[in-house]
A and B are shown apart, each in its own frame.
Chain A
Amino acid sequence: MSESLSFAGIEPPSPTLSARLGELADFFAAPTAGRLTDEQRALSLGIARRLVADVAARIDPAIDSAALWADWLLRGIPDAARLVGVCFARAEEHRWRALSAERMVPAPLAGAADEASGAASDAPMTARERAYLGLRIADRRRLDAYGQPKLAIADVDEDIFRVLLHEVAAWRLAEVSIDTGRAASLGDAVRHAVERQADEGGMTAAAIAYHEAVGTALPETARMAIAAHDWPALIALAAAAQRRRYADMALSLLTAETAALPSLLAPLRLDRDALALLEASLAMLPARAVNDADGAAPEAGR
């Protein structure tokens, strides 16, 4: 976009000017389209930064990922067109879950004793419990130690991962090119990282396992997930039921118009009450990338 822009009287345009004009041109092309909020931009960028750091650590833990990121911020982030999709999907899912948790009201503690005695049980796990535990573990891999959202390597599309590996390796090569031994080992590190990713199961694999373990109890399990605001479980069941990737389903759900929810979640055979609760939760999320027909959804920050 920026290369095609020219501005009479200013030659050559500065990168900042080009970026601003590019942004303005995008705006002119679709003036009424909703734009990214600062929160969405910051969350997505943070997710990308943590992904790049994780990819770099897979190649060589000695890579200074802060310097790498600073360099890429100046030059532009590689494979940005594809990277934005996964980062945005993860950011939107995080916003939804954070908002949902913020508004969550713990029920009275009546009945807690029963739950506690259940918690202390030493009974072996059922297949369904084991699958749910796997899903929870895969889900929590998508947060860093400080609770910030990230993408687990296992959840990243193979092509995007490979491109990032090559770009990080190329950046590293420029740094260690005088050390021929270390430069040669980069290629091996990339190959090893690709093989390792292929062996890892992320949210999509965990979702399939959970969906299979749930079996015929799918509608009830999905309904309970909605009642508990257990959105990862709901997205996982919906994704597996339609043989889609977790991230794709998350983005579809988060950008779906209200009227589209029943068909999107049809395989889960949800009743009207469950759908209404889901609709209400989604409606509370500000600045969703969707056109709400009634105009009642908040567009700006809270």
Chain B
Amino acid sequence: MRNVFQGIIRASSFFRKEIFEILRQPRLIATLVAGPFLILLIFGIGYRGQGRTLRTLIVAQADSPVPAQDIQEYGKSMAAQFTYAGVTGNQAEALDQLKRGQVDLVIVEPRDITSTLRNNQRAVFSLYHNEIDPVQVSYITYLGWVFAGEINQQVLRSFVEQGQADTGDLRANLQQAHQNVSAMRLAVQSGDEALARQKQQALSSNVNAVSTAAGVSLGLLDNLLESQSANKNNAAPVRSTLNDLRQNTSLLSDSPGSSNERLARLDKIDKNVTDLDGKLTEFQSIDASIIVSPFRSETKSVANVQPSISDFYAPAVLALLLQHLAVTFAALSIVRERNVGTMELFRVSPLSAAEALFGKYISYMLFGGVIAAILSALLVFALRMPMQGNWWSFTLVIAAVLFTSLGIGFAISIISQTDSQAVQYSMIILLASVFFSGFIMSLDMLWEPVRVISWMLPTTYGTLLLRDIALRGAAPNWALLGGLVAIGLVLMLLSWRLMRRLISSSQ
């Protein structure tokens, strides 16, 4: 019992010592708290969530089928990511401007578009840039894809608009057909066969004109009207209606029948004409851009909250900072004692490796915990980071992150020969965490074998767990938490064995 009590006293010596040493550095504490808070605050204020706009110069070909004025109009109405910088016919000069940084993007119109299309090939717009950043290159590649899509849509839209204009002629024929049906009906009813025959011929002429003008576009029109129709049951296909009209008109001339039969036939023809006119009117009223791009998407989340970008990064920053703090403090702790000779004093004293390590763990856990508490409070109450989950779960995860990070730090400290070596190792851990922990990109973007590194870093676990708890309001993922603690225990055991070698055995 006495030995246990003395062991606690020996461990407590480190607890007090480490805390006092840290408290003697108020600037360090202020930096640890204020630094991440300010970074997140400024990031939240400064982040706009918009891609970069590119000053874009268009190179038009001399043989371009598109008038220069149209190109200018198009340039001014391009997607928000492009800022129109002008149009030129000189590609070399345009590329020179690009190299000098006067523009960010040069779009070169394809040569001889008509021949290319006739050869059953796609015409290629070339997008030139002067970027070396792979992310920017990807962004411009994506914008190229957007640009091609826009051009294709524009071409389609012009076709549709032409089709809508043509529909006006069709409707004029249908109007005449309607008038001829009415006149023929009156002629049949009055027994004026000559007039009836005359109107029948005029009607046939109208129907033939409609059939010819509509042509193959009726299929497209049919599908569009069918897809646009609110009431599918009343929606007779356009092609079928036109066929009916033609058939009824032919029957009227080929086998006229009795007066009543002719009048009944005329009613059917009139209905066909009215149907077609109604559908063409509907077709004309639809915006060409909707016909070209009839669909759009809307994303909706079933998550409890939609955090802002700074809210989303806040748990990751907290996890990363706590890991770095714990790793660095622990890494410097033992290596300094070894370098200045304090370790020699420990070796002669009754201090055991477990007591020294226990004291250091407790002190840094407490210190890290206080920093985490202040930072979390600032994030939630000052930066308004959502806190959907349970504070106890949040605290548990932070404790686990600190515990495992300290294990890394102590292991570094024991294997390092100098302060600078320990700092270097700590920086490597930090760098690895930035790239592999999912801090800046999702883990899914990493090749699976490389993710082994990710799963060795406390920040990876901390980020996932803290985000789930704070932003989703979920209970901790016990498998993740268990994995994190298991790594911490292994590291603690390793540190203890290494520390024993330092303290307990002779050299």
A and B from one assembly?
no
Enumerate chain A interface residues (CB-CB to B < 8 A).
Answer: none
- Which positions in B face A, CB cutoff 8 Å? none
